[in-house]
Structure 1
Amino acid sequence: MIELTPSKEGVLLNVHAQPGARRNGLLGERAGALRVAVTAAPDKGKANAAILDVLADALGLRPSAIALVSGETSRHKRILLAGLTPEEAGRRIAGALPEPKPSDTNS
């Protein structure tokens, strides 16, 4: 389950970054963090900017409503989603995640 922490400004989201990927997008959950893939290389903040853009687009937020709080040089990042409750952030994330493949379900 993706960990969402309430804050005064909104919600803090743990992100596991995957820079240098084949395409941009949300990949799912990993150890309580949202996995985000970006094509940008981790060079001079390019991947961080791309992660914020991918999140803004996927979650339907203005780019100014998303900020990197910690983890500038790490794959593990804390991102502020301003103006959202944990419940609303959870709904938006769930709606933006790819559908599980049939092999990923226990049916």
Structure 2
Amino acid sequence: MTWWRVVEGGVRLSLHIQPGAKRTEVAGLHGESLKLRLAAPPVDGKANEQLVAYLAAQFGVPRHRVNIVSGELSRKKLVEISGVASAAPLFAE
């Protein structure tokens, strides 16, 4: 299994999130997930909001196309982004 796969209408990402980092960035692989560091703290949904905003910006899509499928309260998340065909924008990090 890879950390991303094509699903109907978009891509699904398996992510490992590290909130409270110095800056928001891709940190490499963490097992079979892509590790993202987020500058936002894990309080009151701020890290999830920053995750959605970061992914929307990286993929050039509106925020409503980024959906946290599972793991909203966990570091391990499944995220779907509709309207894209690959996870290539994250490879450039």
**Which of the five TM-score ranges fits, normalised by the shorter chain?**
0.7 to 0.9
Aligned identity (percent) is 32
The unaligned stretches of length 5 or more in structure 1 are: 98-107
How many residue pairs match? The answer is 93
Q: Report the TM-score when normalising by structure 2.
A: 0.86
More helix by share: 1
Q: Report the TM-score when normalising by structure 1.
A: 0.76
Partner in structure 1 of residue 70 of structure 2: 70
User: Does the 8 A contact of 1:70 with 1:78 survive in 2?
Assistant: yes
- Look at both structures and tell me which one has the larger radius of gyration over its CA atoms: 1
Query: Structure 2 matches for 1:34-73, cutoff 5 A?
Result: 34-73=34-73
- Other structure's SS at 1:35 match: strand
Larger RCO (alpha carbons 8 Å, 6+ apart)? 2
Q: CA deviation at 1:2?
A: 4.6
- Distance in 2 separating the partners of 1:24 and 1:10: 23
User: Does the 8 A contact of 1:2 with 1:34 survive in 2?
Assistant: no
- Distance in 2 separating the partners of 1:36 and 1:4: 14
Partner letter of residue 44 of structure 2?
K
CA RMSD of aligned residues (A): 1.7
Query: Structure 2 matches for 1:8-19, cutoff 5 A?
Result: 8-19=8-19
Q: CA deviation at 1:29?
A: 1.6
